[in-house]
Every structure is written in structure tokens, then in C-alpha cells.
Amino acid sequence: MSEYAVVNPATGQTLASYPSHTDAELAQKIEAADAAYRIWRATPVAERAARLSRVAELYRQRREELAAIIVREMGKPLAAALGEVDFAADITDFYADNAERITADQPLPISGDGSAAIRKAPLGVLLGIMPWNFPYYQVARFAAPNLLMGNTILLKHAPQCPESAAAIEALHRDAGLPVGAYLDLRISNDQSAAVIADPRVQGVSVTGSERAGAAVAETAGRNLKKVALELGGSDPFIVLSTNDLDATVEAAVAGRIDNNGQSCNAPKRFIVTGELYDPFLEKFTAAMAAQKLGDPFSEDTDLGPLSSLAAAERLATQVDAAVAQGATLVVGGVRDGAFYPATVLTDVTADMDVYREELFGPAAVVYRAADEADAVRIANDTSFGLGSYVFTTDPEQADRVADAIDAGMVYVNCVLADSPELPFGGVKRSGTSREMGLLAADEFVNKKLVRIG
């Protein structure tokens, strides 16, 4: 029986299931992707950009259909699902619109006569292994820059996203890319390992858990393949000073509940200094308690279900364990099927499991910090290093703290400010690469030196 199925987390109903690809079918797809690479890499950059522009156009034309698919697959509220489709289109357009700048030779100053430049050449067939939490956005930020560079894509999506995965393949096919330039794979983990080992496949990109990233990186290492990892996060939200506490709290809540709390770069640890702690906690708790759980297709729903019953049970286990170890449950914490309310924990100490864990759902931990230095200490006391958020009225303090935080991204006085031109990625156990922005187009290319005497 295939593991690829659409199970509506709001109802628990299995809506459809799809067969996994056989080994023979997989072999055909790898061959098709390799054949398409020979065509696609020789296609002029302007034509590749035009095909990507068409992909973005189709995202927008089909936005309502595409959004409805992921509401059913993983419970994202409809407004957020529509926004995700739009963002995937914007990302794809960014690479199409900046194609010449991204692919142009980079001249190098040299000693002696002649010239030298770095020329970016594609590597070949790439495997992408993508998660369920942003079914379109995650794929777009991997596929668009690599297709622009002339690589071709094999995409293994999460087993609970077979319909959105098929819809993305259809977008690329209907946009006029060569047959095989973008192919959806419904395969097992063992088959994924075989894809990575195939000599025609030149690299693999994973967005997912630490466990998944480590397993794929191990396989890639054995086969001497380039690997890019975008993994988990437990991002700090540091409050040092504010002229508008209500606005700061609003930003904190918006960041924590976005995507039903299932975002790797969401703020999850709220670190508040001095006299701001008590009023922040009071307002934050009230605002979290006011978040409405309900049907993700309803316009007045703030929080839909988590992506699955298993995901909700996992979060409940973490919160329950924290309370058993001495944390204070301020609000929330009572699961109803796959629905989990906005939850706030306090009094978490370094000897508790939750101090080191990522809470992948609408649960927040609020910490009291003595001062700036203590806030930075708490923020950095984690194995993760993806994003971070700093709220302060002092520009010099903002710059100082941004420099001190061990993370791949620092947002000052803003949340939900991701944009196609901004690189996304982390350090420590949060990953090894960058997606989006100009840096994404450098992950899977041959930076070839061309030296002319």
C-alpha cells in the first residue's frame, strides 16, 4: 500500500491515495531528467527565464485551485494558502526577472596580461526532498534558481502532499519546459538513496528535520554528491525596548501562529528583559488565547489543525512533558484531535527537555532575561541557528545584538518579512546552505574559471 495519501487533518478523512513509483518507473524518470538536462542546459538563458515567467503566471492563474489543495493536505488556513501560492509565484519571477544578472560571467582582477572570469555552469540532475509545511513555497525556492541555471529537477515531496506535488509538475510542464526538466517522484526513502547514488544525479537538497537531513547527508557523502540542508529552528524573539508594546505583542503572535505554528523560522522562544517581562507576558497570553481554532476554509479562522494527528500528538507530548518537569502552562495545552490551541509556557529551565527542543506548532516559551547580555546568552543557548528577531528602539543596540546572535538571519523590529531577494538559511544544526536571493543560484553550479592569456 502506498504511503502517498491526502488525509484531511481537520476531519481525519482519507480523501485519496496514490501509488508509489516502481523501481522501473523511477529509472525512467531519472533517464528522462538526464535527457532533458542535455536540452535545457543548451537552452539560451533568456528562453529559460521566459519559461520560468510562465510558471509564475500559471501559479497566479491557478491560485485558488492550488490553495484549496494544500488546505486539504495539511490544514493551512485558506488565506495563508493563497498567500503561499502568491509567494511561490513571486520567487519564481525573481529569478526570471534577474536571469541575466544571476548567470553573467564574473570578471576577476588578475596580475599579468589577458583576462579571467568565473562562469557559472549547471551541474545536471538534482534531487529535491521537500516537507509538507509549505508545499509550494519550499519547492519554488529550490526549483526556480536551479532551473534558471540549467539544472533539471527530480522532486520527492512529502507523502501527505501528492496532489500539490503533481500540480507543481503540471505547472512546469504546461509552462513549456522540456519533458523531464521537472518531475515529481513518489518514492520511498530507500529509493531516494538509490537516486542520490545514481551517477547522473549531481546533488540533493533537503528541507526537513535534523534526522532527515543527517540521513540524506550521510548518503550524499558516501556518494560524493553536493548536499544542501535547510533544517529545523527554535528562533529567539528578543524584546529589549519598545515604544509600542501592543505592536510588539502583535508581531510576536503573528510570527508564532503563522502556518499554524509550523514554520522552521518562526519565533518560538520569547526572551523579554527587565520590566517589560510582566506586561509582555500578560498581553501576549491574552492575544494567544484569543486565536480562534476552526475550519481552515473559514475566513474567520486563525488556527487550523496541525498537519496531522501525529503532529498534534507530538506537540502535546512535548508540552505535557514540560509541565511534568516543572514548567508553567499559562494558556492552551489541550489537544482536540489534530487541533492544538495557541499555547504559552513559562518557567522553563535549561534542565528541561523543551529547552532544547523545537516546538513545531502554536506553542511558545517566554523567558525572563536580566539584560541585553543575558538575552543574547539565552538566545544562543541552542543547537539551532536559523532565524532570530530583535525588538529595540536603539539602533546601536540592534546592530550590536544582531552581530552577537548565532543565526543565519536577524530581523530587527519586524516579522514575516521574508522576500524573494533575501537569502534564507541557518548555521549550527539548522543547515548548511542558502535559498532565495542571489545566493541560492550558487548552490548547485560549477563555478568555472575561464582564464584567457
Which residues, 6 or more positions from 330, have their beta carbon under 8 angstroms from its beta carbon? 281, 285, 344, 345, 346, 366
Q: Which of 47, 46, 45 is nearest to 122 (CA)?
A: 45
Computed over its alpha carbons, how large is the radius of gyration of the chain? 23
**Strand runs (DSSP E) across 208-304, as ranges?**
226-230, 235-239, 267-273
65 has catalytic annotation? no
Q: Which of 232, 292, 361, 298 is nearest to 80 (CA)?
A: 298
Catalytic, out of 73, 84, 161, 264: 264
Contact between residue 184 and residue 165 where contact means Cβ atoms under 8 Å apart:
yes
Catalytic, out of 73, 163, 230, 443: 230
Question: Given 3-state DSSP classes, what are the helix, strand and coil percentages for the chain, each rounded to the nearest 5?
Answer: 45, 20, 35
Q: Phi and psi of 345, rounded to 5°?
A: -115, 145
* Torsional sign, CA 258, 391, 365, 269: positive
In the block, residue with C-alpha cell 481537520: 10
Q: Phi and psi of 151, rounded to 5°?
A: -75, 160
357 has catalytic annotation? no
Catalytic residues: 230, 264
